[in-house]
Structure 1
Amino acid sequence: MKIAVAGLGFRLANVIASFRKACPELQVVGLVDPNPAGLPALVSAGMPEPRAFETVSEMLAATQPDLFMVGSPNLFHLEHITAGLRAGVRVFTEKPVVIDEDQTMKMAALLAEYGHDRVLVGLVLRYSDLYRDLRAAQANGHIGSITSIEASEHIAPYHGAFFMRDWRRHTRYAGPFLLEKCCHDIDLYGSVVGQRASAVASFGGRKTFIPENKPEHLSAFQQEQYYQKPSGWQEGDAVFESDGDIIDYQTAIVEYDGGATMAFHTNLNVPDQFRRFCVIGTKGMAEGDFIRNRFQVYSAISGEKLVERSYDGVESDHYGADDQMASDIFSHLTQGAPLPVNIVAALEAGLVAIKIEEARRTRRTLELAETWQRFDDALDAPRLAV
């Protein structure tokens, strides 16, 4: 299997390592990246240094890959995916797919032109065991009709400080923080509800990583945390005096078609981090934590615990889901096996995150019916001859 890459950062290097487990003969035949921070990881894993190109179009024409992987900063995804589709190759893109509403509509129109199946997306949590167990509990009738969800992604200081130093600190490159970091979560719980978001509201800001909180002397814990995670492109040193404009805490409220609701909370300075949910329905509840590796289901009819599971011994990032995603995508490409998420679902989750941020900035509750109509109009445009 031959792959070509645009944007070889630390994240995509990890994804490629998982793909090599699924396909040991995998070759990286081309690279577009002026500063490939993930390249040393590939070389140290025994892979030859790929041929470098100036442009994506030049690379794809010269290499004719089986898959074009887009790991560039989010701002450039639309440009790079477009080049891949124009070249007639299958594209895998990291999340989030695009950074704002305008790019979302352009991507939807692009999919209308080339077909939804031409782009695969790295919404990796859809491949996790915990998510699959949650959907199984739904399918088995343990939860019933969803009424409300409480969910969170609480992030340790080492990762919060990384965001303040990385290119992701600038929304012009990454999009809003909730989109960049939590689009996984928005996607998961929207899929569980099975309905689109109909209205959103949000509050939040930046209160931790600001100049007045900069300590005179870092504790041993802070010294270990704040520079633990390396940064690549647009690297910065400042944690509390970052020149970025992202926020470091946010609470969102989502109402879905049909009336179910979700309260979602994220914070970048949680020393005992967790990523958990409580999904409550008419027949029971499911509670899980991706970081603390546990899942339980309780009946509201009998009061008994119906399911209890822990997830020990995972060996890759994202709670073991990276390896499963790579395996499933390889099976999809070679054998046509189905995937648990598609590019349209990724765009929908991203659009919800984008509107949540708009609601926070404008301090308004936003109704989304018009937004969804524009999205559907772009997505369902007549397909052009390729």
Structure 2
Amino acid sequence: MPPVSSTASATLAAKAGSVPVGPLPGDHPPVRIGRIGVLLMNLGTPEGTDYWSMRRYLKEFLSDRRVIEINRLLWWPILNLVILTTRPGRKGKDYASIWNRERDESPLKTITRAQSDALAALVEDPRICVDWAMRYGKPAVEDRLKALVAQGCDRILLVPLYPQYAGATSATACDQAFRALMKMRWQPSIRVSPPYHDDPAYIDALCAKMLADLAKLDFEPEVVLASFHGVPKAYLIKGDPYHCHCVKTYRLMREKLGWSAEKFQMSFQSRFGAAEWLKPYTDETIKALAAKGVKRMAILAPGFSADCLETLEELNVENREYFIHAGGEQYAYLPCLNAEEEGMKVIRTVVERELQGWQ
């Protein structure tokens, strides 16, 4: 057997959980290496539902140039003098209606933590450390990257939990991670998991979860609507692939289900401002369905990996009211994959595939 190299020795030591890197001057603690980090990243959440917590969160979110591409000279007064004066109160009430009071946090934070914990329980390699972070709010991406490095992770896989790529989601999450890396003298090696909008594991999970949830209803929907988060149409024209990814997810789901385009429809929600966004709009679609005589419908959000304000309040409450007021009778919101078995199969599949060659 050939002698074990110093690199191999470090790797073996890493498996044992301790990897000091030679003698260091002074009182400097030993540096740990040889472990692999997996950082799940989601959008973000306010720390509370009060005005100032909401204002801090909205300011960070709406100041992101990836999210709002309007000229800064025009956007600054609109944001600071109008939106951040009026919107925190309204959005705070919406968050309060879905708030996890037991943990005093938003459902998105609760679910993302649960996804991280579930993935950590599923991985078999003791060298792998799983953590989670939010692009906006806490836990901060920079803080969690530092924590992984401190545990000896010299290789880190970033996993943006957005099935469909968009500059305003996947890209800005990576931007935040790269900004943190710019401050590090010794950077870990980085991989970024790609979007998984057409991954068979994802399509299978969506369809299986949806059919299981539909089977629990006490009525049969005439229409099932797949609602994706919207973005300004201008982003599509500039080259953002998000619209194409959403349409492909919808098409693959419909093909697997064998449903007609009338039975299974798609739309885009959460538009903000006066500019044209991706169409058809979810709220207008729901009102039109009821106006045409549809009495029973169900809605799901395939583009969200975890339930959040846009699903639990916007889809389950606000759009339910639109349907009922327009003449509909029975309406069901079908939850996201979250940290349930089907959802964790997807995340595990993505992570295991992207870690190949590192394990």
Please give the TM-score of this superposition, normalised by the length of structure 2: 0.31
Greater share of residues in strand: 1
The higher-RCO structure (CA 8 Å, 6+ apart) is 1
**Larger Rg belongs to:** 2
Query: How does the TM-score come out when normalised to structure 1?
Result: 0.29
